[in-house]
Amino acid sequence: MHMFLNSFRGKTAAAILAAVAITAATPYAFAQAGGAKPAEKKYKDAAEYDAYSAVIKDVGAKDFNKAIADLATWKQKYPTSDYHEDRDVLFIQAYSGAKQLGKAIEYFGELDKNGIDAAFTDPGNAIKALFATVVAIGQDTDATPEQLAIGEKAAQELMDYNHKPAANITDEAWAEARTKQLQPPAKAALLYIAMLPGNQAFAKKDYPAAEAAYTKALQKYPDNAAIAYQLGMCLRNEGKRSEAAYEFLRATSTDATLGGAQKAETIQGFVDKYYVNLHGSDEGLDALKASVKASPLPPAGFKIKTATEIAEEKQAEFEKSNPQLALWMKIKGALADTNGDQYFAGQLKDSAVPQLRGVLVDAKPACKPKELVVAVPLPGGTPTPEITLKLETPLTGKPELNSEFHWEGIPSAFTKDPSFMLTMTVEKEKIEGLKISPCVTAPAGVRKKKG
């Protein structure tokens, strides 16, 4: 999880930093590219030139903390200056370089209160200030809501900025620069800003807050796979497994690489396995993959039946269709368990058991028996002796083996080893459906032949 967030954050920052390179080469990269000269500016005196030079030297040496101190000295001594816009850009860049990202963002926010055109008359400086702010917000994992608002405004202004840095730049070249160099990092920053509240809440394991933040972000960016995936992670941690599966599938149906941050096969494999573990099989997976494309959020009442729920439904249906067999399976399961002897002695012995159903496998004696041995096989199963019925009075005929019948009785004895056997006392009046034929006896005066 943390690896994904770090990877995604890195991708966003890389997009911004790659684009900022167009203004980082020289203070007037755009103007020089177009061949135009910036408005003529003059230093008030040699001391101001030295102050400016000191800052440039600091920045070149990447000593940004010293650059901030030297900028403050320059601004204190020369509060008004032809180079105040350059100085403002350098302040933002120096704060960013010193990793004082919040200060960089807030400094820009003070300048931008009345809009970028009011803050900068030089389009080159405006672009550099916007870029520097966009870079700062894209790296700030602890930005406050106020700082996020400033960063969002800066990113939107960079998206919309349409003042050529030089008059002789062609419309085609300017349109290409905006499309390929200005707008991509702005879009990346806007996405990062939308996700950051959710990322911050997720890092604190405040999953309800993260869910709310990611849901809001997904409503703004409905086709963004990374947001859908992160919302799925929140829902999973909240125990909302069906909704989580929906968002995971929504993410992979949109972009299984999650914006290039992950390998598609890794994410797809995780998502498919998550569904199978939840549902118990891949039944319905393809249909759900198709349906999630219709909406970024699941419909009200969305529910995927879990493997447990499906098993419980089948068990309930089985018990409804085979109540007597289901009852015996519960009794047998409890008796066969580790504490089966304690269960028999404490709960089952001498207690009336509701009607059971089984198959006769033996009768002792064969005619007018007082003992019936019964099996309770599963559908399609092999009859195995497991219940002995002891009758207080014998049956009146010969019971037919393998015939199915019902009875009610009271458990009186139980052995688990070496063979499972439950003994029940039964009144013959409580036996139903057992096929009985008359006992065949030899005619009077007829003796059986001996061997």
Band the pLDDT of 23: cuts 50, 70, 90. very low
pLDDT tens digits, one per residue of 207-224 = 999 999 999 999 999 999
Q: Which two tokens stand for residue 347?
A: 């709960």
What lies within 8 Å, CB to CB, of 387 at 6+ separation is 356, 358, 373, 374, 375, 376, 421, 422, 423, 424
What lies within 8 Å, CB to CB, of 92 at 6+ separation is 104, 107, 108, 129, 132, 133, 136
Give percent of the chain with pLDDT exceeding 70: 89
Question: Among residues 61, 223, 179, 39, which one has the least CA distance to residue 121?
Answer: 39
pLDDT for 17: 44
90, burial (CB in 10 Å: exposed 0-12, middle 13-18, buried 19+): buried
What is the residue type of 379? P
pLDDT for 325: 86
Best-predicted range by mean pLDDT among 68-82, 299-313, 325-339, 405-419?
Answer: 68-82
Instruction: Please determine, for residue 22, whether its predicted confidence score (pLDDT) is greater than 50.
Output: no
pLDDT tens digits, one per residue of 128-180 = 999 999 999 999 999 999 999 999 999 999 999 999 988 889 999 999 999 99
Segment 53-69 mean pLDDT: 96
Segment 349-358 mean pLDDT: 93
Instruction: Please determine, for residue 420, whether its predicted confidence score (pLDDT) is greater than 90.
Output: yes
pLDDT for 290: 95
pLDDT for 83: 95
pLDDT for 31: 35
pLDDT for 379: 79
Instruction: Please determine, for residue 196, whether its predicted confidence score (pLDDT) is greater than 90.
Output: yes
Instruction: Please determine, for residue 445, whether its predicted confidence score (pLDDT) is greater than 60.
Output: no
Global pTM exceeds 0.85: no
Matching CATH number, 322-437, of 3.40.630.30, 2.40.50.140, 3.40.1440.10, 2.60.40.10: 2.40.50.140
Segment 259-288 mean pLDDT: 93
Give percent of the chain with pLDDT exceeding 90: 77
Domains in the chain: boundaries: 2-41+83-203, 207-294, 322-437
Helix 183-203 to helix 2-24 angle (10° resolution) is 150
Mean pLDDT score of the chain, rounded to an integer? 88
pLDDT for 449: 54
3-7, 105-109, 122-126: least confident range? 3-7
Band the pLDDT of 326: cuts 50, 70, 90. confident
Band the pLDDT of 378: cuts 50, 70, 90. confident
pLDDT for 27: 34
pLDDT for 382: 84
